[in-house]
Amino acid sequence: MSFLSINDISFSYTDDDGNILAKALDSVSLEIKKGEYVVIAGANGSGKSTLSRLICGFLPVQSGSISGDAYISDEVLSRADYLRSDGTVPQGIVFQNPQTQIVAGTVYRDAGFGPENLNLPQEETENRIKTVLSLTELDSIAEQSTDTLSSGQKQKLVFAGILALKPDLLVLDEAVSMVDPACRQKIFEFVSDWHNAGKTVISVSHDLEEVKRAERVIFLDKGSIAFDGNYDSFNQKVTFFANSLPEKRHKPEINASLSLTVQNLNFAYGEKTIFENLSLGFKAGSLNAVVGKSGSGKTTLFELCAGVQIPGAGSILSQNRPVLARQNCEDAIFETFAADDVAYGAIMQGVSGRELKKRVQFAMDMVGLPFVEFADRPVSALSGGEKRKLSLAGILVLDADVIFFDEPSSGLDPKSRKDLFSLFNRLCDAGKTIIFSTHRTEEAEFADRIIKIENNGQIFDSNPVTFSVKDTAGLLDLKPFADARILSNLKIKTHEENKKTNFMHRLPPVVKYLLLTVFLCVGIGVQSVPILAADCVLCLVHACLALYPLKRLIKNTVTILPYILLFFLFQMLFFPVKSTDTVYWSNMFFSITDTKLLLGIRTILHYIAVLIPVSIFMYYTNEIQILDGMRDFLKPLTWIKIPTHHAVLVTCIIFRFISVLAEETEVIVKSQMIRSSGNTGRKERKFFARLRLMMPIFVPLIVQTLKRAELLAEALEARYYN
């Protein structure tokens, strides 16, 4: 059997009624030999990602056929069944966004998730984890939380998790588009070494350097193969990478007015300082590039200026509210159809009728999504590059004077990248201030000015803008959105923020599980009020020994108290009165008796006897200990052949998805703040403020939750989860 054979494949995206929305592939045929390094290139929407997903069985074959040793059909019930006797698997795939592919809470556990799914011996699993973490230079942070990693580290971790499966075929779908140059170079070198060891690589890429490294280049044009050969021949026949940037414009007027200033800005994540006394000025009509390694603070600076992060100190002054086009484009897309999504922000500003249509059409045409062609196109039918363009249109429609673009060229093909920078030129010529971040040297050099942020917060500015108090007289002192403060207050403190620890925190996880189990059994099962009261006292002693903050305990109790009292009220209304009861007061359906009071007291004690031990357990037990403790706690069940590791893996996935939902909520709130004309100075009572914050994100959160659930399912499938 061949290694991978693709015969006359066609594929179209359809709506729920089966109507064709977009034809992605048209009669594609090719053979991939074992040991080849193939790059699939092409414009956004040419069918590259669709082809890679078909190869890996993430899309059904509609027309034609795919076969070979490296192919796994989408109809397979369990990819784990494809484990070979030598411990290898047919294929592994790495997608563009690492954030959606991480499935565990720590680096070590995420790297080992795949081998654990394959039920490999523990020694073999540990050896593979150590090997892949060493290969990807993550061995020094093996126990670090995955939420604390930079984007480059996350992408390396995704590589490690797939490589731990030992796939014969490694498929990369724009896998380096979101990492900095140093990390990109290391990944290229690693992939080359992987290929030199006899492995097969298929990479979907817009990166010229990777195209040069490949043995074979396949170029797709509108869903068909337009070229298949080596790089030298490709370079002669295809002009895909030529002139990837427009001509550099003339520098802006020196005496242009200030459009934005950042003055004495301080910001920190916990104890990690990002900026200290940062001051920057920007002039109208200027094009500014912000560069720096992943995690240096580029996105943080943009969010502070856009009002969705709260500075520790300092001020931000501008003519009006700056807007931000975020890096992960799908996070800012709320509507079903393209034109409706672009119109969202303008509608929130009160624009309607002809003016609304004019703005939407202008914004879509400006980013290269012609209104007449894409207005009624479902967002789900757009390619990754087209979605990025759509998100940019949703920002341009706001008609702001200062616009931030966070990694705007990520995922764009060379022509789209050239069009993007031509758009920047036109916006600057119209008097807009454009500030964008990038990892590409040639893009930074295209700007009028380069601002480099180091990891220690130090700034290097190629063309500093000096200003005085007099220069900023006409600018408004912008405050963060009110919702940004609410969002900040809603963030949950993690286990790592607990400063005080003692012997209770250092107990083995299985002992913590045993303590929790004993307290819960008593708190739930016992009906005697005196014993329940004694159990609550022991719970309080347990809380003191665990150094659980008294204020937090009182707050948790007060939070659930209204619900307990409501339940108690229902008992008073509907619980029947017995002939032996002593009635203290009665009025129609409502009565107070000794039995009902006893029942109410018992209910309150049950709640307290459960709430306190659960709160303590979550306080002094982190995710790693929870999973380790569960494994040890359930170990006796393995003696009777019950596969307890599935319960551990499912718990790991639940923890990850809870984290994902928290991230998604934050992203949606920030995106809606940016795309709305929200009141920055509104004051409300906390309860109503939180309620108002949650209402508009409910539907988008459901939509994004379903999307993230689907992406998580794909990530699990890619790790051969059974």
Specify the pLDDT at position 108.
Answer: 92
Tokens encoding 567: 């339940």
User: Ranked by mean pLDDT, which of 28-32, 203-207, 479-483 comes out on top?
Assistant: 28-32
CA angle, 662 then 666 then 669, to 5°: 140
Specify the pLDDT at position 498.
Answer: 46
Domain check: are 504 and 485 in the same one?
no
Mean pLDDT over all residues of the chain? 85
Q: What's the predicted TM-score (pTM) here?
A: 0.76
pLDDT per position as a tens digit, 405-456: 998 888 788 888 898 999 999 999 999 999 999 988 899 999 999 999 987 7
pLDDT per position as a tens digit, 371-414: 999 999 888 788 777 888 898 899 999 999 999 999 888 878 88
| Among 322-326, 536-540, 697-701, the least confident range | 697-701
Question: How large is the average pLDDT for residues 236-258?
Answer: 80
Domain check: are 487 and 521 in the same one?
no
Question: How large is the average pLDDT for residues 153-165?
Answer: 91
Instruction: Give the domain extent around 84.
Output: 4-245
Domain check: are 54 and 95 in the same one?
yes
653 within domain boundaries: no
Domain check: are 359 and 318 in the same one?
yes
Q: How would residue 267 be classed by pLDDT, with cut points 50, 70 and 90?
A: very high
- Sort strands 476-478 and 583-587 into parallel, antiparallel or unpaired: unpaired
User: Ranked by mean pLDDT, which of 117-121, 142-146, 167-171, 598-602 comes out on top?
Assistant: 167-171
Specify the pLDDT at position 680.
Answer: 42
| Among 39-48, 255-264, 652-661, the least confident range | 652-661
Number of domains in the chain: 3
Spatial separation of the C-alpha atoms in residues 173 and 97, rounded to whole Å: 9
pLDDT per position as a tens digit, 18-33: 777 778 999 999 999 9
Q: Which residue would you say has higher pLDDT here, 301 or 332? A: 301
432 within domain boundaries: yes
What torsion do the CA atoms of 518, 522, 525, 528 make, to the nearest 10 degrees?
170
Nearest to 153 by CA among 139, 164, 172, 165: 139
The yes-or-no verdict on residue 271 having pLDDT over 80 is: no
Task: List CB contacts of 191: < 8 A, sequence separation 6 or more.
Answer: 37, 170, 172, 201, 203, 210, 213
pLDDT per position as a tens digit, 567-576: 777 777 777 7
Q: How would residue 15 be classed by pLDDT, with cut points 50, 70 and 90?
A: confident
Specify the pLDDT at position 493.
Answer: 45
CA angle, 617 then 620 then 622, to 5°: 90
Domain check: are 131 and 195 in the same one?
yes
The yes-or-no verdict on residue 459 having pLDDT over 70 is: yes
Specify the pLDDT at position 522.
Answer: 92
Domain check: are 337 and 265 in the same one?
yes
Domain check: are 165 and 98 in the same one?
yes
Question: How large is the average pLDDT for residues 66-71?
Answer: 93
Spatial separation of the C-alpha atoms in residues 269 and 634, rounded to whole Å: 37
How far is CA 349 from each of CA 325, 332, 571, 677, rounded to the nearest angstrom? Answer: 17, 17, 49, 5
What's CA 399's distance to the chain center, in Å? 27
Domain check: are 203 and 299 in the same one?
no
The yes-or-no verdict on residue 699 having pLDDT over 70 is: no
Task: List CB contacts of 450: < 8 A, sequence separation 6 or more.
Answer: 288, 289, 291, 444, 461, 462, 463
| Among 56-65, 339-348, 503-512, 696-705, the least confident range | 696-705
pLDDT per position as a tens digit, 282-314: 999 999 999 988 778 898 999 999 998 999 999
Q: How would residue 666 be classed by pLDDT, with cut points 50, 70 and 90?
A: confident
| Among 30-34, 345-349, 494-498, the least confident range | 494-498
Q: Which residue would you say has higher pLDDT here, 138 or 17? A: 138
Q: Which residue would you say has higher pLDDT here, 269 or 589? A: 269
pLDDT per position as a tens digit, 163-184: 999 999 999 998 877 677 777 7
Question: How large is the average pLDDT for residues 464-487?
Answer: 83
Specify the pLDDT at position 682.
Answer: 45
Nearest to 28 by CA among 222, 173, 202: 222
Specify the pLDDT at position 594.
Answer: 83
485 within domain boundaries: yes
Q: Show which of 491, 522, 544 is a domain's final residue.
A: 491
Task: List CB contacts of 112: < 8 A, sequence separation 6 or more.
Answer: 125, 126, 128, 129, 164
Which sign does the torsion angle of CA 138, 143, 149, 155 carry?
positive
695 within domain boundaries: no
Domain check: are 301 and 213 in the same one?
no
166 within domain boundaries: yes
What's CA 190's distance to the chain center, in Å? 25
714 within domain boundaries: no
145: DSSP letter: B
Domain check: are 234 and 376 in the same one?
no
Q: Which residue would you say has higher pLDDT here, 652 or 474? A: 474
Spatial separation of the C-alpha atoms in residues 72 and 117, rounded to whole Å: 17
Spatial separation of the C-alpha atoms in residues 474 and 468, rounded to whole Å: 12
Specify the pLDDT at position 495.
Answer: 38
The yes-or-no verdict on residue 348 having pLDDT over 90 is: no
| Among 112-121, 414-423, 581-590, the least confident range | 581-590
Domain check: are 590 and 605 in the same one?
yes
pLDDT per position as a tens digit, 606-656: 888 998 998 898 888 877 778 778 878 888 887 887 777 777 777 777 777
398 within domain boundaries: yes
What's CA 366's distance to the chain center, in Å? 28
Q: Show which of 491, 511, 537 is a domain's final residue.
A: 491
Q: Which residue would you say has higher pLDDT here, 59 or 625? A: 59
Q: How would residue 319 be classed by pLDDT, with cut points 50, 70 and 90?
A: confident
* Phi and psi torsions of 245, nearest 5°: -135, 150
Share above pLDDT 90 across residues of the chain, in percent, rounded to a whole number: 36
Specify the pLDDT at position 681.
Answer: 42
Specify the pLDDT at position 461.
Answer: 93
Position of tokens 């220690």?
A: 456
Q: Which residue would you say has higher pLDDT here, 237 or 242? A: 237
Spatial separation of the C-alpha atoms in residues 89 and 358, rounded to whole Å: 54
Q: Which residue would you say has higher pLDDT here, 673 or 134? A: 134
538 within domain boundaries: yes
CATH code, domain carrying 420: 3.40.50.300
Domain check: are 194 and 290 in the same one?
no
Q: Show which of 426, 456, 491 is a domain's final residue.
A: 491
114: DSSP letter: H
Position of tokens 């305990």?
A: 553
Is residue 693 helix, strand or coil? helix
